[in-house]
Amino acid sequence: MSMECGVFHTRYESDMGLRPRPAQRIRLAAFAAFVLVFPFLAGPYWLDLANQIAIATVGAIGLNILVGYTGQISLGQGAFMAVGAYSAGLLTLNLGLPWGVSIALACVITAVAGSFFGLPSLRLKGLYLAIATLAAQEIVEWAMTHWTAVTGGTEAIVLPAPRLFGVRLNGAFSFYWFGVAMAAGTALFAANLFRTRMGRAFVAVRDQDIAASVIGVNLFRTKLLAFATSSFFVGLAGAMIAYYRTIITWERFTLETSIVYLAMIIVGGLGSIRGSFFGAALITLLPALIANAGRALQDTAPVVAGLLPYAQQAVFGVVIILFLIFEPKGLSKLWGNVKDYFHVWPFAYRRG
Amino acid sequence: MDIFLQLTVSGLSTGMIYALAAAGFVVIYKASDVINFTQGDLLLLGTYLIFFAVGQIGLPWSLGVLVTVLLAVAVALAIERLVLRPLIGEPIISMIMVTIGLSSILRGLVNAIWGPAPRSFDSFLPEGSVVVGPASLSTGRLLSIPIALVVLAALGLFFRHARDGIAMRAIADDQQAALSMGIGIPRVLGVAWALAAASAAIGGIMLAGVVGVSPNVASIGLRVFPVVILGGLDSIKGAVVGGAIIGLLEAYTGGYVGHGLNLVVPYGVLILVLMVRPYGLFGREIIERV
């Protein structure tokens, strides 16, 4: 690796590049290599976790576009994922559309639904919007369980397995490639989004909405677009869950889901793409790790093992609080600190 | 008519429990602008603490209530000191998430200590029922209404006359002016959390008497939001009136319409109020619009 002592761009192209520095490209290549090799080494248990992380990454990036980048607090993530999952499933079951078309349409439907629930955001700010989205979540939850004619109520909806070129896509190994492709595509789209006028407008609305409208950002349009863009990916995450599990149940899309996704972007870092991935990975792995610890303790300390489901709940809360108090910018900032340290290593500028 | 009376009593008694939880929410919101998602878990804590004190240790009721309230206040003070104080002045999303995190911890702890199965013990509220004309009304539910009203009235008087109550209103009005008049914000925040916990603990004790002891109690915490939005985020009076209206609405839709519609009606009301009158019935009209 070449030694660097700073970032000096000599061409506009390099200044505008997503990953201009050699070290960044090497890291990206290393990560890509890991992602490509991983499924051949991992067993089905870890592959399943990786797929969950891929889906969660899509959903977390979607939520981060709304909450982290545009500053509109949403407790309705679970509801939007439900819209994505149910429309993807019902389009296939009732209209006989191929699964790919259903997923694409489900994203669009969720984007429309998201804009509709985003309408209050034009009148309401901050906590009022949070409470409005909470109500939306509760209403959608009720519709899922009680609007039996459409959603099947509390009964699960079973979907046909998605197939691509004759391969069943809902197996852990085959879905992995689909999941990774979707997550990478979402990340790439989001990273580029915030280099465009529209993405910059999102950030301007977050930082100071009145100032944004003074410099010519149309608040009405921008907020609705933010809700639509965010919901598009949230719907994609929901549809991916539907086709990965090939079964849709309302329990996957409760207020708890909304909270888990908010935790992902808080722990990972608000307003950060890589943070969304870090957070999705940590929050997905955390309960799995605790469950593993529980299995390990089963023989030696069965009493402790019995308490572990509750420990999962408590540890989840503790993690959120520790991050909020000690590193509000999340894992993304921690990773940034590590990188900054090694960026000009060993010639670090030391303070004091 | 008899069904109407029964629904009214059960709606009002549920509504008063909502009002107790909502009053705690309002107190904390007034003092610190924090949206408190732990209100339902403080209720939960109250029901299990009274079960612990009376059902498990066997304390007499008066002492049990005292112990429950004191323990709940201690928990709230610890929360305020350890978690909330370092975060004063952070953005709304952080405050929301920190109370959600706390709620998760409290729920995990209560479940770990007492297990997920519902528990039962002899209620302090009398079992029987009063016959009014054609209707027979549960005495326990009837009695819970005045008890809650007394507690809520005490809270209201506290705000109007007590030194800390006035300080709290001053902080809600203008934090900087309050600071310059020598009001210690940390102290007032502590008092706010203590009051919220005490109010929720009493709500929890009544829940234990009326409904029973089970982990589902925590889900009532979400009903606080329709109540406070309807009543006005910063008004105790609003919490009482809002609690009564939401409780009655739930009881009537549950009794006359059915289909589980009573679960969703409060949130419909919430959205409607936010659209038409976001500061609620008694809230101050300072909501910021964009």
In DSSP notation, B136-180 reads EEEHHHHHHHHHHHHHHHHHHHHHHHSHHHHHHHHHHH-HHHHHH
Q: Which residue of A has its CA nearest to B289?
A: A123
> Is the minimum CB–CB distance between A122 and chain B shorter than 8 Å?
yes
Strand bridging mode A163-164 / B135-138: unpaired
Q: Scan for tokens 């900087």, then name that residue.
A: B176
Among B97, B263, B267, select the one facing A262 at the smallest CB separation: B97
pLDDT tens, position by position, A214-238: 998 998 899 999 999 999 999 999 9
pLDDT tens, position by position, A23-37: 788 889 999 999 999
| pLDDT: which is higher, A14 or A325 | A325
A130 and B35 within 8 Å at the Cβ level: the answer is yes
Tell me the pLDDT band of A6, cut-offs 50, 70 and 90.
Answer: low
pLDDT at A5: 63
Residue-averaged pLDDT of chain B: 85
> Is the minimum CB–CB distance between B88 and chain A shorter than 8 Å?
no
Ramachandran angles phi, psi of B130, nearest 5°: -105, 135
Percent of chain B's residues with pLDDT above 70: 95
Query: CA separation (Å) from A136 to A9, A113, A262, A341, B217?
Result: 48, 11, 16, 44, 22
Q: Is the peptide bond before A346 cis (omega within 30 degrees of 0)?
A: yes
Q: Scan for tokens 């086709």, then name that residue.
A: A243
Per DSSP, which regions of A179-254 are E strands? 247-248
- Separation between Cα atoms, residue B219 and residue A141, nearest integer Å: 14
pLDDT at B288: 55
CA dihedral A11, A13, A16, A22 (to 10 degrees): -80
pLDDT at B35: 85
CA distance B29 to chain A (A): 11
Least-confidence region, from A73-82, A266-275, B192-201, B269-278: B269-278
> Is the minimum CB–CB distance between A119 and chain B shorter than 8 Å?
no
Mean pLDDT of A126-130: 83
- Separation between Cα atoms, residue A208 and residue A217, nearest integer Å: 11
- Separation between Cα atoms, residue A324 and residue B116, nearest integer Å: 29
Per CB-CB distance under 8 Å, the chain A contacts of B87 are 324-325
> Is the minimum CB–CB distance between A328 and chain B shorter than 8 Å?
yes
Tell me the pLDDT band of A1, cut-offs 50, 70 and 90.
Answer: very low
Which of B28, B82, B97 to mutate to probe the A interface, most A CBs <10 Å? Answer: B97
pLDDT tens, position by position, A164-183: 787 787 888 889 999 999 99
Query: CA separation (Å) from A264 to A269, A284, B120?
Result: 8, 9, 38
> Is the minimum CB–CB distance between A187 and chain B shorter than 8 Å?
no
Per DSSP, which regions of A273-340 are E strands? none
- Separation between Cα atoms, residue A59 and residue A62, nearest integer Å: 5
pLDDT at B131: 75
pLDDT tens, position by position, B71-104: 999 999 999 999 888 887 788 888 889 999 999 9
Q: Which of residues 242-301 of A touch B (CB under 8 A)?
A: 255, 259, 262-263, 266, 270
User: Checking phi first, is residue A246 left (phi over 0); if not, alpha (psi -120 to 50) or beta?
Assistant: left
Is residue B276 a contact partner of residue B230, using CB atoms and an 8 Å limit?
no
Which of A114-118, A197-201, B160-164, B263-267 holds the top average pLDDT?
Answer: A197-201
DSSP string, B12-56: HHHHHHHHHHHHHHHHHHHHH----TTHHHHHHHHHHHHIIIIII
Global pTM?
0.90
A134 and B225 within 8 Å at the Cβ level: the answer is yes
Is residue B205 a contact partner of residue B253, using CB atoms and an 8 Å limit?
no
Size of interface A-B (CB pairs under 8 A): 138
Q: Which two tokens stand for residue A98?
A: 């191929």
B103 and A317 within 8 Å at the Cβ level: the answer is yes
**Beta-carbon-side half-sphere exposure of residue A149 (alpha carbons within 13 Å):** 0
